């Protein structure tokens, strides 16, 4: 479930930053760059702030007791 929330939120943030770049101000592209850099650093460090926030909000990781085999 965590992976699903993560993908939806990151995808929404990327699309939002593109819309803001086109219609508001080109400097919003830096938000897209920030998202990309965070994704790259999390691949190397295995730590992601969004994942930490989602877990504190009660989102469960995959493989919990509710998952059927």
Question: Mind listing the pLDDT tens digit of every residue in the chain (69 residues)?
Answer: 888 899 999 999 999 999 999 999 999 999 999 999 999 999 999 998 888 899 999 988 875 544 444
The verdict on residue 69 lying in a domain is no
Determine the Cα–Cα distance for residues 9 and 44; give it in Å rounded to an integer.
Answer: 21
The pLDDT score that the predictor gives to residue 63 is: 56
How many structural domains compose the chain?
1
Domain limits for position 32 = 2-56
Tell me the whole-structure pTM to 2 decimals. Answer: 0.78
The pLDDT score that the predictor gives to residue 1 is: 83
**CA-closest candidate to residue 49, choices 60, 34, 38:** 38
The pLDDT score that the predictor gives to residue 69 is: 41
């Amino acid at each position: 479930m965590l992976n699903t929330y993560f993908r939806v939120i990151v995808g929404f943030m990327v699309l939002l930053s593109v819309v803001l770049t086109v219609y508001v101000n080109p400097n919003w592209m830096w938000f897209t760059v920030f998202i990309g850099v965070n994704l790259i650093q999390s691949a190397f460090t295995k730590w992601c702030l969004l994942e930490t926030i989602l877990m504190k909000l009660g989102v469960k990781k995959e493989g919990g007791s509710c998952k059927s085999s």
